[in-house]
Amino acid sequence: MRFRIGDCVFDRESRELSRAGRPVPISPKAFLLLDLLLARRPRAFSKAELSEALWPDTFVVETNLANLVAELRAALGEKGRRDGFVRTVHGFGYAFSGEAVPEDPKDRHGGVSGVALLADGRTFALANGENVLGRDPAAEVFLDDTAVSRRHARITVRNSQATLEDLGSKNGTFLGGKPVTAPALLRDADAILLGSVLLTVWLADPGRSTRTLRGSESKRAR
């Protein structure tokens, strides 16, 4: 996913940040911080949440996070300590502020495919090639649910065919109510369950009329 942030472009897949068309040097931790803030915008993260995500199972002093925020603000071209794209929530933590415009999925290296997933009123257009589904903000299909593993499953799209695989998730991946233990070919209207998230497969077919979706096809499993 690519986001345009002012005169900056954040590219998750290539792990690049550019400003005014020029690459901006940024540390891996600062890049991950921006990724986290963008994925959950405009939600504010507590300092404890960010520290755990950036330095898991490691004790760090609070100044480490403050220094990382300062690096990120400088990379985005913000001046001084004035809040811009990174907002300080005093006494709590930080949040992304301002506008981040997602770029067209056709800009992705694999190109947009004729496969999509429907979930809880949302549509996830898949690209040709590999698409990771999970709770990792870097996943192509980001599912914000605690029952979903960070890298839960993968859908690979090639030659108009989509294949589903489980990636060793804690709660399993289910297709049509059956656990996925080997790569499985997906068909239109298939139901995929990841943790407590229900997704419906949509395969484009130029030769047919538009199918009307029932409300249950885009509801989250409880």
- Per-residue pLDDT, averaged over 200-205, amounts to 86
Q: What is the pLDDT of residues 158-175, one digit of tens each?
A: 887 899 999 999 999 999
Least confident of 47-51, 84-88, 135-139, 156-160: 135-139
When computed from its CA atoms, the radius of gyration of the chain, rounded to whole angstroms, is: 19
> In angstroms, rounded to a whole number, what is the distance separating the alpha carbons of residues 137 and 150?
8
pLDDT at 60: 82
Mean predicted lDDT score pLDDT of the chain: 84
pLDDT at 207: 46
Q: Report the SS3 class of residue 40.
A: coil
> In angstroms, rounded to a whole number, what is the distance separating the alpha carbons of residues 61 and 18?
29
Q: What is the pLDDT of residues 186-196, one digit of tens each?
A: 999 999 999 99
192-208 burial string, b = 16+ CB within 10 Å, else e?
bbbbebbbbbbbeeeee
Confidence band (pLDDT; 50, 70, 90) for 220? Answer: very low
